[in-house]
Amino acid sequence: MIYLDYAATAPVRPQVGACVRELLEEDLGNASSLHRAGRRARHHLEAARERIASSLGAKVEEIVFCSGATEADNLALVGTLEHQDTPHSGLITSRLEHAAVFETALRSELKGGQVHWLPALPDGLVDLEALEAELKLNPRRLVSVMATNNEVGSRQPVEQVGTLCREHGALFHCDGVQDVVVAKQLIHSGLVDLVALSGHKMGGLPGGLLFVRQGVAVNPQILGGAQEDGRRAGTSEVLRAVSLATALELHLAEDLARIRQLREAFEQPLTGIEGAVRLGPPQEERRSNHISSWLFGNLSAEPVLAQLDLRGVCASSGSACSSHSVEPSRVLKAMGLPSARALGLVRFSFGWKTTLEEVRRSAEVVQEIVEKMMQKERQKA
C-alpha cells in the first residue's frame, strides 16, 4: 500500500506509539484526583502542556486541550463571540474554511449572528482587499482565516490577515491544522489570538488544542467541571496530551524541503497528462509542501480513487469529513469552478513516512489510470 492521504490523517509515529504504551503501563488516575495516581496523571498532563507551549513559543496557560481541531475551531468561534465581556461581535470568514469553521459560521448566521463571507480568488486564496474594506467598515470583528487550505493546499496570507486585524482592533483566529510551522510563526509574531491544531495530522493520536492568547476570553462550549482553567470541561485525556506533545515536536523537526521534493517528484510526470490541471496557486510561496490536488479532464474523483485504491494507492477527494459524499467540493465552487468540475478533485498528500520511491511509483499508477479513463471518455463522446 502507498499511503498518500496525510492531509486526512498521518500514520502514527513509532515514538508516539512507544510513549502511549509506556503510559498505559502506569495505572494513571484521574488528573483532577488528589491521590498519587491522580497526581501522576496531572504531572504527565502538565508536562505535555509545557512541551507544547515551548514548541509553539506560547505560555502554558495559553494551551487548551480539546478532543480535536474541530472542537478547537468551534470553541474559538463560538466561545469568543458568546463571551459576555467580549468587545468583538460578528464574524468575517470565507467558504474556503474547513467544515469545522464553515458550519459553525453558518449556524451562527442562522441564529441571527453577523457573518461576512469574504470572496475567494480562483487560486484558493482569500481576498485581502475585501477583508481590508470590510474591517474598515466593521473593525471589531472576529476574523477566521486558515493557514493552509486542506483541499487545494493554498497557503493563505495569514501574516497580512493578522496585521490587518491588529490595525483594526479585530480578533484573529487561524485554523493551523494543515500548516503547523506557519501557525507557530504566527503565534511568535503576536499577530494571532486563537489557533487550532490537530494531533492526528502530525502523526499523533486524534486530539487537538486551541491556543488562546493571554487576555482573550472564551466561554466553554462543553460544560461541566473546571478542567482546562474553566475553558473546556471533561476528564483530562492524558494519553492524548502526551501524544500531541510528542507528535508536535517531531512534526516541527521535519525536513520540509524533503516533503516539498516529494511533492515535486510526484507532480512532474502528472503535468504531462493531457487535460490534467493542478489546483491552487501557481506561486511556490503560496503552496503547501505536502498537498497536491488535481482535476483530470472531466473525470469524477470517485472512480479515479476507486481505481487507485485497487492498485494500492490511497488518496482522497479533498476533505476527509466529506469524502464519503458525492457532493461537489464547496471550496472549489467558492474558487469559481462549476459543480460538475468540482466533483473531480483528487488530492494527494505526503508526510513523514512517504518515500521518493513511493511517489514515483504512485505517479506512474495515476498516469496509467487517468489516461485510460480519459481515453474511454473520449471514445464515448
Question: With CB under 6 A as the contact rule, which of the stretches 23-31, 134-142, 173-181, 341-349 interacts with ligand PLP?
Answer: 173-181
Buried b (16+ CB within 10 A) or exposed e, 230-266: ebbeeebbbbbbbbbbbbbebbeebeeeebbebbebb
208 binding ligand PLP? (CB under 6 A)? yes
Q: Which is nearer to ligand PLP, 162 or 199 (CB)?
A: 199
In single-letter form, the type of residue at position 218 comes to V
| Helical ranges in the chain per DSSP H | 14-24, 36-56, 69-81, 99-110, 128-137, 158-167, 180-189, 238-252, 256-270, 301-310, 330-334, 339-342, 356-380
Is residue 321 annotated as part of the catalytic site, yes or no?
yes
Taking CA atoms, 241 is separated from 56, 64, 229, in Å, by 15, 10, 15
Q: Which of 19, 66, 174, 321 is catalytic?
A: 321
222 binding ligand PLP? (CB under 6 A)? no
Q: Using the rule CB under 6 A, which residue among 80, 104, 108, 178 binds ligand PLP?
A: 178
Site track 273-312 with ligand PLP (rule: CB under 6 A), x = hit: ----------------------------------------
Cα gap 69→209, rounded to integer Å = 6
Question: With CB under 6 A as the contact rule, which of the stretches 69-77, 102-110, 152-160, 282-290 interacts with ligand PLP?
Answer: 69-77
* DSSP label of 138: S
Residue tagged 476527509 (cell numbers): 320
70 binding ligand PLP? (CB under 6 A)? yes
150 binding ligand PLP? (CB under 6 A)? yes
68 binding ligand PLP? (CB under 6 A)? yes
What burial class does residue 147 get, using C-beta atoms within 10 Å of its C-beta: 0-12 exposed, 13-18 middle, 19+ buried? buried
Task: Give CA angle at 244 (221, 22), nearest 5°.
Answer: 120
69 binding ligand PLP? (CB under 6 A)? yes
For residue 303, the minimal CB distance to ligand PLP (Å) is 23
Spatial CA neighbour of 290 closest among 273, 266, 307, 270: 266
126 binding ligand PLP? (CB under 6 A)? no
Q: Using the rule CB under 6 A, which residue among 76, 100, 158, 346 binds ligand PLP?
A: 100
- Position closest to ligand PLP via CB: 68
Catalytic residue numbers, as ranges: 321
Using CB under 6 A as the criterion, which residues of the chain lie in contact with ligand PLP when the complex forms? 68-70, 73, 98, 100, 146, 150, 175, 177-178, 198, 208, 320-321
